[in-house]
Amino acid sequence: MPWLLVGLGNPGARYARTRHNIGFMAVDAWCDKATSSPSWSEKWKAQVATIGTGSSRVVALKPQTFMNRSGQSVVPAAQFLRVPPAQLLVVHDEVDFQLGRLAVKKGGGHGGHNGLRDILQLLGNGDFLRIRLGVGRPVHGEVADHVLSDFRPDEGQVVDDLLERAVAAITCVTREGVVTAMNKFNTT
Protein backbone atom coordinates (compact mmCIF):
# COMPACT_ATOMS: atom_id res chain seq x y z
CA MET A 1 0.00 0.00 0.00
CA PRO A 2 1.46 3.37 -1.00
CA TRP A 3 1.92 6.49 1.04
CA LEU A 4 -0.07 9.50 -0.16
CA LEU A 5 2.12 12.57 0.31
CA VAL A 6 0.14 15.79 -0.13
CA GLY A 7 1.62 19.24 -0.38
CA LEU A 8 -0.93 22.02 0.07
CA GLY A 9 -0.77 25.20 -1.98
CA ASN A 10 -2.36 27.19 -4.78
CA PRO A 11 -1.76 26.49 -8.48
CA GLY A 12 -0.17 28.97 -10.84
CA ALA A 13 2.99 31.06 -11.13
CA ARG A 14 1.40 33.93 -9.18
CA TYR A 15 1.45 31.84 -5.97
CA ALA A 16 4.62 29.81 -6.55
CA ARG A 17 6.78 31.45 -3.85
CA THR A 18 4.05 32.44 -1.38
CA ARG A 19 3.92 31.31 2.23
CA HIS A 20 0.73 29.33 1.52
CA ASN A 21 2.68 27.24 -1.02
CA ILE A 22 5.38 25.98 1.35
CA GLY A 23 3.63 22.57 1.19
CA PHE A 24 4.07 22.44 -2.60
CA MET A 25 7.70 23.54 -2.20
CA ALA A 26 8.42 20.83 0.38
CA VAL A 27 6.88 18.06 -1.75
CA ASP A 28 8.80 19.29 -4.80
CA ALA A 29 12.05 19.31 -2.79
CA TRP A 30 11.37 15.78 -1.48
CA CYS A 31 10.56 14.45 -4.96
CA ASP A 32 13.68 16.08 -6.44
CA LYS A 33 15.81 14.43 -3.75
CA ALA A 34 14.09 11.02 -4.04
CA THR A 35 14.54 10.76 -7.81
CA SER A 36 16.58 12.66 -10.37
CA SER A 37 13.58 13.47 -12.56
CA PRO A 38 10.12 13.06 -11.03
CA SER A 39 7.48 12.51 -13.69
CA TRP A 40 4.40 14.61 -12.95
CA SER A 41 1.01 13.94 -14.54
CA GLU A 42 -2.55 15.21 -14.05
CA LYS A 43 -5.01 13.11 -12.06
CA TRP A 44 -7.57 13.74 -9.28
CA LYS A 45 -7.51 17.48 -10.03
CA ALA A 46 -3.84 17.44 -9.03
CA GLN A 47 -0.28 17.10 -10.20
CA VAL A 48 0.77 13.56 -9.30
CA ALA A 49 4.11 11.74 -9.25
CA THR A 50 4.69 8.16 -8.10
CA ILE A 51 8.09 7.49 -6.57
CA GLY A 52 9.53 4.18 -5.42
CA THR A 53 11.59 4.51 -2.25
CA GLY A 54 13.19 1.16 -1.55
CA SER A 55 10.47 -1.20 -0.37
CA SER A 56 7.66 1.37 -0.39
CA ARG A 57 5.90 3.58 -2.90
CA VAL A 58 4.97 7.22 -2.39
CA VAL A 59 2.32 8.97 -4.46
CA ALA A 60 3.05 12.70 -4.28
CA LEU A 61 0.06 14.95 -4.85
CA LYS A 62 -0.19 18.72 -5.33
CA PRO A 63 -3.90 19.67 -5.57
CA GLN A 64 -4.70 22.15 -8.35
CA THR A 65 -8.07 23.06 -6.84
CA PHE A 66 -6.85 26.07 -4.82
CA MET A 67 -6.28 25.76 -1.09
CA ASN A 68 -9.89 26.04 0.07
CA ARG A 69 -10.92 23.05 -2.06
CA SER A 70 -7.95 20.74 -1.39
CA GLY A 71 -10.24 17.92 -0.25
CA GLN A 72 -11.75 17.67 -3.75
CA SER A 73 -8.37 16.37 -4.88
CA VAL A 74 -7.02 14.61 -1.79
CA VAL A 75 -10.08 12.53 -0.91
CA PRO A 76 -10.62 10.93 -4.36
CA ALA A 77 -6.90 10.08 -4.51
CA ALA A 78 -6.94 8.55 -1.02
CA GLN A 79 -10.08 6.55 -1.85
CA PHE A 80 -8.74 5.29 -5.20
CA LEU A 81 -5.40 4.28 -3.67
CA ARG A 82 -7.14 2.84 -0.57
CA VAL A 83 -4.77 4.82 1.64
CA PRO A 84 -5.74 4.74 5.33
CA PRO A 85 -5.29 7.92 7.41
CA ALA A 86 -2.07 6.47 8.90
CA GLN A 87 -0.51 6.58 5.39
CA LEU A 88 -1.85 10.00 4.36
CA LEU A 89 0.77 12.69 5.04
CA VAL A 90 -0.25 16.34 4.46
CA VAL A 91 2.45 19.03 4.40
CA HIS A 92 1.15 22.55 4.98
CA ASP A 93 1.91 26.08 6.11
CA GLU A 94 1.33 26.96 9.77
CA VAL A 95 0.81 30.62 10.75
CA ASP A 96 0.86 29.79 14.46
CA PHE A 97 4.54 28.77 14.18
CA GLN A 98 7.35 31.24 13.74
CA LEU A 99 9.04 31.12 10.36
CA GLY A 100 11.30 28.07 10.21
CA ARG A 101 9.65 25.92 12.90
CA LEU A 102 8.59 22.40 11.86
CA ALA A 103 6.45 19.84 13.66
CA VAL A 104 5.12 16.40 12.80
CA LYS A 105 1.58 15.70 14.02
CA LYS A 106 -0.82 12.76 14.04
CA GLY A 107 -4.47 13.70 13.74
CA GLY A 108 -6.30 16.73 15.03
CA GLY A 109 -8.52 19.52 13.79
CA HIS A 110 -7.98 22.10 11.10
CA GLY A 111 -6.77 24.94 13.36
CA GLY A 112 -8.35 27.52 11.04
CA HIS A 113 -6.43 26.23 7.99
CA ASN A 114 -8.89 26.18 5.08
CA GLY A 115 -7.07 23.45 3.16
CA LEU A 116 -7.14 21.14 6.18
CA ARG A 117 -10.76 22.12 6.87
CA ASP A 118 -11.83 20.96 3.39
CA ILE A 119 -9.89 17.69 3.65
CA LEU A 120 -11.39 16.97 7.09
CA GLN A 121 -14.91 17.78 5.93
CA LEU A 122 -14.75 15.56 2.83
CA LEU A 123 -12.66 12.76 4.35
CA GLY A 124 -14.78 12.64 7.49
CA ASN A 125 -11.68 11.73 9.48
CA GLY A 126 -8.93 13.84 11.04
CA ASP A 127 -6.56 11.00 11.89
CA PHE A 128 -4.18 11.64 8.99
CA LEU A 129 -0.59 12.75 9.52
CA ARG A 130 0.68 16.29 9.04
CA ILE A 131 3.94 18.15 8.77
CA ARG A 132 3.39 21.74 9.85
CA LEU A 133 5.80 24.29 8.41
CA GLY A 134 6.00 27.62 10.19
CA VAL A 135 5.46 30.71 8.05
CA GLY A 136 4.80 33.15 10.91
CA ARG A 137 1.82 35.33 11.71
CA PRO A 138 1.71 38.95 10.56
CA VAL A 139 2.27 41.60 13.23
CA HIS A 140 -0.16 43.89 11.40
CA GLY A 141 -2.68 43.15 8.68
CA GLU A 142 -4.72 40.20 7.56
CA VAL A 143 -3.55 36.61 7.80
CA ALA A 144 -4.92 35.96 4.28
CA ASP A 145 -2.74 38.73 2.82
CA HIS A 146 0.25 37.38 4.76
CA VAL A 147 -0.01 33.77 3.55
CA LEU A 148 -0.57 34.93 -0.04
CA SER A 149 2.57 37.09 0.04
CA ASP A 150 5.96 35.93 -1.20
CA PHE A 151 8.74 35.17 1.23
CA ARG A 152 11.01 38.20 1.59
CA PRO A 153 14.59 37.94 0.26
CA ASP A 154 15.98 38.19 3.81
CA GLU A 155 13.94 35.08 4.75
CA GLY A 156 15.49 32.95 1.99
CA GLN A 157 18.03 31.08 4.13
CA VAL A 158 15.44 30.24 6.81
CA VAL A 159 13.05 28.95 4.12
CA ASP A 160 15.82 26.87 2.50
CA ASP A 161 16.70 25.34 5.88
CA LEU A 162 13.01 24.66 6.61
CA LEU A 163 12.59 22.88 3.26
CA GLU A 164 15.69 20.78 3.92
CA ARG A 165 14.28 19.69 7.29
CA ALA A 166 10.87 19.07 5.70
CA VAL A 167 12.49 16.67 3.21
CA ALA A 168 14.16 14.84 6.11
CA ALA A 169 10.89 14.73 8.07
CA ILE A 170 8.92 13.34 5.10
CA THR A 171 11.58 10.66 4.63
CA CYS A 172 11.53 9.82 8.34
CA VAL A 173 7.72 9.52 8.51
CA THR A 174 7.50 7.30 5.42
CA ARG A 175 10.43 5.04 6.39
CA GLU A 176 10.52 4.99 10.20
CA GLY A 177 7.00 6.01 11.21
CA VAL A 178 5.27 9.01 12.71
CA VAL A 179 6.33 8.39 16.34
CA THR A 180 10.02 8.33 15.43
CA ALA A 181 9.54 11.46 13.29
CA MET A 182 7.75 13.31 16.11
CA ASN A 183 10.53 12.43 18.56
CA LYS A 184 13.19 13.53 16.09
CA PHE A 185 11.66 16.73 14.67
CA ASN A 186 9.28 18.16 17.28
CA THR A 187 11.72 20.38 19.12
CA THR A 188 10.90 23.93 20.07
- Residue 129, helix vs strand vs coil: strand
Q: How far apart are CA 92 and CA 105, in angstroms?
A: 11
Q: How far apart are CA 83 and CA 161, in angstroms?
A: 30
Active-site option among 20, 92, 113, 146: 20
Q: How far apart are CA 166 and CA 106, in angstroms?
A: 16
Residues whose CB is less than 8 angstroms from the CB of residue 38 and which lie 6 or more positions away in sequence, other chains included: 31, 32, 49, 51, 60
For the question of residue 20 being annotated catalytic, the response is yes
Q: Using alpha carbons, select from 90, 73, 78 the residue that is nearest to residue 8.
A: 90
Give the active site residues.
Answer: 20
